[in-house]
């Protein structure tokens, strides 16, 4: 009887880590995008607040707080929040993809695999899927990173944001603002 109980307890101990959820490490993760104005002046911006998980079936999710956009110019942050992202109505954007957990489980610490995967972005209530080149790395036993190997190019027209970009252009007195935006990211997840 005691041997049977010990065997059952050991089985639970072995199973629990595999069922533990992966949580986004917001302090070590980043999502950056490049805006281009006047046809040749490009600047890198980022979001400072994101959350996310990877479920047991490998669905990786990142939820971006759009009000956390950081352009290093306060008035531009405010204009992007109100005029472009309309955070009063659309406070969050969501990115999802799938991580092959069996590939990860077979990797040593420092192991890497690359894949072209669907990456789905939901922004302004519109969903668009892109083919994304991703690199997945096992950093430690309980830490992984998902990195965009190449930038993902997001078109403003995919989300009906052309008019919003035009308003930003007018307010800033610029001759042009590009409507395609390269996005890069590194998402670090810790297993809990």
Q: What is the pLDDT along the chain (192 residues), one digit of tens a residue?
A: 444 443 343 444 333 344 568 999 999 999 999 999 998 999 999 999 999 999 988 999 999 999 999 999 999 999 999 999 999 999 999 999 999 888 877 788 999 999 999 999 999 999 999 999 999 999 999 999 999 999 999 999 999 999 999 999 999 999 999 999 999 999 999 998
CATH number assigned to the domain with residue range 21-191, chosen from the 4 options 3.40.190.10, 2.10.109.10, 2.40.128.110, 3.30.2290.10? 2.40.128.110
pLDDT at 130: 97
- Predicted TM-score (pTM) of the model is 0.86
Residue 156 to residue 182: CA distance in whole angstroms: 11
pLDDT at 48: 96
Polymer length in residues for the chain: 192
pLDDT at 78: 97
191 and 143 in contact (C-beta within 8 Å)? yes
* Cα of 6 vs its chain's centroid, Å: 42
Residue 49 to residue 31: CA distance in whole angstroms: 10
pLDDT at 103: 85
As a dihedral over the C-alpha atoms of residue 68, residue 155, residue 125, residue 72, rounded to 10 degrees, the angle is 10
Residue 164 to residue 105: CA distance in whole angstroms: 44
103 and 134 in contact (C-beta within 8 Å)? no
Instruction: List beta partners, residue 180.
Output: 155
């Amino acid at each position: 009887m005691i041997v049977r109980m010990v065997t059952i307890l050991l089985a639970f101990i072995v199973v629990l880590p595999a069922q533990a959820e992966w949580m986004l490490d917001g302090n070590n993760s980043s999502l950056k995008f490049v805006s281009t104005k006047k046809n040749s002046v490009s600047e890198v911006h980022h979001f400072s607040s994101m959350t996310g998980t990877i479920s047991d079936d490998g669905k990786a999710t990142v939820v971006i707080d759009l009000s956390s956009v950081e352009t290093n110019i306060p008035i531009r942050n405010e204009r992007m929040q109100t005029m472009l992202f309309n955070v009063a109505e659309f406070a969050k954007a969501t990115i999802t993809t799938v991580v092959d957990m069996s590939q990860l489980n077979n990797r040593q610490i420092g192991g890497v695999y690359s894949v072209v995967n669907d990456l789905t972005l939901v922004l302004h209530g519109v969903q668009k899927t892109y083919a994304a080149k991703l690199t997945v790395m096992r950093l430690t036993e309980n830490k992984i990173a998902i990195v965009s190997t190449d930038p993902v190019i997001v078109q403003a027209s995919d989300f009906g944001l052309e008019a919003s970009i035009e308003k930003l252009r007018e307010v800033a007195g610029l001759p042009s603002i590009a409507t395609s935006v390269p996005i890069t990211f590194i998402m670090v997840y810790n297993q809990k």
